[in-house]
Structure 1
Amino acid sequence: MKKLGNIKQIVSAYDVVFLNGAESGKNCILVHTGELEVLFNKDNALDISWVKYKGRNISFLSKNGINSVSGTFAEKFEGGFLYTCGMDNVSSCVENKPIHGSLHYRQASEVYHREENGTIVVGGKVRQTALFGSDLVLNREYTVSENGIRISDIVINEGYTADKYVLLYHINFGYPFLDEDLKAEMPIIKSEGLTEYARSRKNSQLLITPPADGGEEEVFYNYLADGCVKLKNEKIGVTCEMRYGTDDFPVTLQWKSMISGDYALGIEPSVTRFDDFQMRSLPPRGKRLYRIDILFDEAGEIFPQKDKAVSV
C-alpha cells in the first residue's frame, strides 16, 4: 500500500451517467479491478451491461445497445453480460407479462458500492410490487475481484401471504471472446432442443461456428452433472468458468445464435424450463439465496466456498 497514492489506482467504482444517444440518462456504476471492467446498470435491476477482461470484450451487446426505448422485446433487448429474467415471467410463459419478465425494467434502490480487501462490492434492492399483489424484493450483492464476479441474490417475500416467483440468469457472450475458436465444456447428462430446428442440430450444440447470414437461433435445455460451465478461447487466451448449484438451478438453458450481426451465446441457469413452467413459492417473510461465481482464466477458489441455496 506504500506504493499507492490512492486505492483507486488499482481498484475503483464510479457512478456514471450516459449523456448521448439511446442510453442517454442511464445511471450506472463503472468498476475496475485491474484485469476486469464491469458496468452495472442501476436503472435496469442492477444487471451487468458489459464485462471486459484484460481489455477484451466478453459480453454480447445487441444492435439496440443500452437503451430506454419503448417497443417490443426484440426492439429493446440489449443483451448485456447479465440480463436477469423474472420474477413474474420467463420467456412468454405468463400471459400479459413482459417477455422474460418485468424485473429488468425496474430501477434498483438503496444502491451502494465500496472497496473491500482489494475487491469492489456493489449492491442494491430491486422491488417487484403491485397493489393487492406481490411484495417481492431481490436483494443483490456483487463482489468483483481482479478476475472474478460473485453474484449473491436473495429473493425476499415482504408480503403477508405466500407468493410465487421465477428466475433465469441470462448470461451473454459476444465477440471477440465468442468466436469459432471458443471451446465450450458442459457436464451434460441430458439435453433437449426447444424447437425442431434446435433438435435437428443437437449433436453440434456446443460447436461455435463462424457467423452465417440469416438462419435461426437455437435453444437447448441442459441437465448437468454439476453446475460448472467452462468457455475457453485459446486464440485470445481467455477462459470463463461459471459455477452454481444445480439445486438452485435445475436446468441450464443454452441460447446459441450464430447469425451475422446477432452473434451470441447465452448460458442461462434457470429455476424452470419453458414448456414445463413452474414458479417457486416463498412463505410470508420468507427468503432464498441464489449464488453464481464467474471466474476468468481458471482462477480457482478466489472467493470463499459458495453456500448452497437456503430458505430462511
Structure 2
Amino acid sequence: MDRAQLTDGMASGSPVLIVRNPGGISFEVLLDRALDIGWADARGVPLGWASARGRVAAVRHEPGGAGWIHTFGGGLLTTCGLASTGMPSTVGGIAHGLHGRIGHLAADNVSWRIQGEGDDAHVEIVGDIVEAALGTPTLRLSRRIRSWIHRPELEIDDVVVNDGFRDAGHMFRHHLNLGYPLLDEDSQIETDAIVFESREEPGVASFDEIGLGVSSDAVDEQVIYARTGARAQFVLTSPSRSAALKLEWSGDSFPLLLVWRDASPGVNVLGVEPSTSRDGGRAQAQHDDEVVTLRPGEQRRYRTRIVLEQVASPRERAEGVS
C-alpha cells in the first residue's frame, strides 16, 4: 500500500491510498472523499466506471443545486448522504444539494493494516467522516474497508452515528458505478430485486428491459426503483470476459435498490445503488416517510460486499456441451 498525492489538473491536491493486491482486488481509496473507491481491477478486469470528467479534488466541490455532477468522477464506489441523497431540495431553510455532502468530505483518523491469516488474510482500512455545521445535526460515518488478499473480494462496512444531542434525519446510499468491459451488449443481469417504479415515463417494468449495450438512440437516462428480498444481491455477468461481478448488501438497512442506466455513447454506465430512499431528495423523502430518524447516540450499520467470480466463456460452454 502506498499513500500519495495527485498533482495534475483538477485532481491536484487529492490524497489517495493505493492498494496493489495481485491475488485479490487492487484499488484506490480517495482520502479526501469519504474513503470512496476510485479505480479498481481484479484479474486484469476493470471493475468501476470512470466519467468523462475524471478525478476532481474534493475542495473543488460545488455543493449547491446539481453542482455535484461537475466533480463526479465515477469510480467503483461513491457515497451519498448523510442527511440527504437524490435530487436537490430545501427543508427548513437548509439547502440540500444533489446527493448530499458526505462524498466530498475528507476522512479523519485513517489507518490501514493487514489482518487475519491464511485464506482470511485481508487488507483493512478504517477512518471517520463527520458531517456537521453550526445549528445542524452531527452525523459521523465510521468506514471499514476489507479487501481479501487471496481472492477478489472486497467489503465496505459502514456505521453512521448521531453524535449530536437531538434527533437527526438521515439518508444514505452506496452508489456503485459499473461500465465497460463488464458492461457490454452480451452482459446479463441477475437479481432478486423486484422493480416497482421508474423515475421516468414510460417506465421499465423489469430488469429484462434494460439494454446493456451502447445505444446511439439513448438520449435520456433511466432510474429504476426496486425492492430486494433477504439475499439483497445484484450480479452482472460478462460471458466474453469469463467474469461475473456480484454485489451483496444489507437489505435490512438498505431497503431499496436504485438502478441508474445511461446507455449513450461516451457514457455507457450502469449505477447499482443500495439506498434508504428513492431519488426525489430530502423534501420528497420526508413526504414519503423515507427519511431515517436517528436519536442521539443511535447508530445504523450498512454493509456492501463486492466479489468478482470466474465463469465459463461461450467457447468453454460450447466445448463442455460437445
- Looking at structure 1, the residues matched to 194 and 207 of structure 2 have their Cα atoms a distance apart, in angstroms, of 14
Work out the percentage of aligned pairs sharing the same amino acid: 25
- Give the counterpart letter for 1:279 in structure 2: V
- Looking at structure 2, the residues matched to 131 and 26 of structure 1 have their Cα atoms a distance apart, in angstroms, of 26
State which drifts further: 186-195 or 139-148: 186-195
- Looking at structure 1, the residues matched to 9 and 41 of structure 2 have their Cα atoms a distance apart, in angstroms, of 22
Question: Which residue of the partner structure matches residue 3 of structure 1?
Answer: none
Question: Which residue of the partner structure matches residue 48 of structure 1?
Answer: 37
| 2:125 is equivalent to residue 136 of structure 1 | no
The SS at the match of 2:184 is coil
Aligned counterparts, 1:80-99, within 5 A: 80-92=75-87, 94-95=89-90, 96-99=95-98
Asked if the contact 1:184–1:207 (Cα under 8 Å) also holds between the matched residues in 2, the reply is no
- Give the counterpart letter for 2:103 in structure 1: H
| 2:295 is equivalent to residue 283 of structure 1 | yes
State which drifts further: 206-215 or 143-152: 206-215
Structure 2: state its 5+ residue gaps. 312-322
| 2:82 is equivalent to residue 77 of structure 1 | no
Asked if the contact 1:241–1:298 (Cα under 8 Å) also holds between the matched residues in 2, the reply is no
The SS at the match of 2:49 is coil
Question: Which residue of the partner structure matches residue 9 of structure 1?
Answer: none
Question: Which residue of the partner structure matches residue 253 of structure 2?
Answer: 248
Cα displacement (A) at 1:231: 0.9
State which drifts further: 208-217 or 257-266: 208-217
Aligned counterparts, 1:161-310, within 5 A: 161-197=166-202, 199=203, 204-212=208-216, 215-225=219-229, 226-275=231-280, 277=285, 278-297=290-309
Asked if the contact 1:147–1:296 (Cα under 8 Å) also holds between the matched residues in 2, the reply is yes
- Looking at structure 2, the residues matched to 84 and 116 of structure 1 have their Cα atoms a distance apart, in angstroms, of 25
- Give the counterpart letter for 1:15 in structure 2: R
Asked if the contact 1:192–1:202 (Cα under 8 Å) also holds between the matched residues in 2, the reply is no
Asked if the contact 1:193–1:202 (Cα under 8 Å) also holds between the matched residues in 2, the reply is no
- Looking at structure 1, the residues matched to 18 and 217 of structure 2 have their Cα atoms a distance apart, in angstroms, of 34
TM-score, normalization: structure 2? 0.84
Instruction: From 111, 118, 122, give the equivalent of 1:119.
Output: 122
State which drifts further: 66-75 or 38-47: 66-75
Cα displacement (A) at 1:219: 0.6
- Post-superposition Cα deviations, 1:190-247, rounded to whole Å, max 9, x if no partner, equal 43211114x0675743431234265111110011223011111111112111112321
- Give the counterpart letter for 2:111 in structure 1: Y
Count how many residue pairs are aligned between Structure 1 and Structure 2. Answer: 286
Question: Which residue of the partner structure matches residue 65 of structure 1?
Answer: 54
- Looking at structure 2, the residues matched to 295 and 170 of structure 1 have their Cα atoms a distance apart, in angstroms, of 16
Asked if the contact 1:184–1:206 (Cα under 8 Å) also holds between the matched residues in 2, the reply is no
Asked if the contact 1:183–1:207 (Cα under 8 Å) also holds between the matched residues in 2, the reply is no
- Give the counterpart letter for 2:190 in structure 1: E
Asked if the contact 1:91–1:274 (Cα under 8 Å) also holds between the matched residues in 2, the reply is yes
The SS at the match of 2:157 is strand
Cα displacement (A) at 1:33: 2.2
Q: Larger % of helix: which? A: 2
- Looking at structure 2, the residues matched to 253 and 83 of structure 1 have their Cα atoms a distance apart, in angstroms, of 14
- Looking at structure 2, the residues matched to 138 and 104 of structure 1 have their Cα atoms a distance apart, in angstroms, of 11
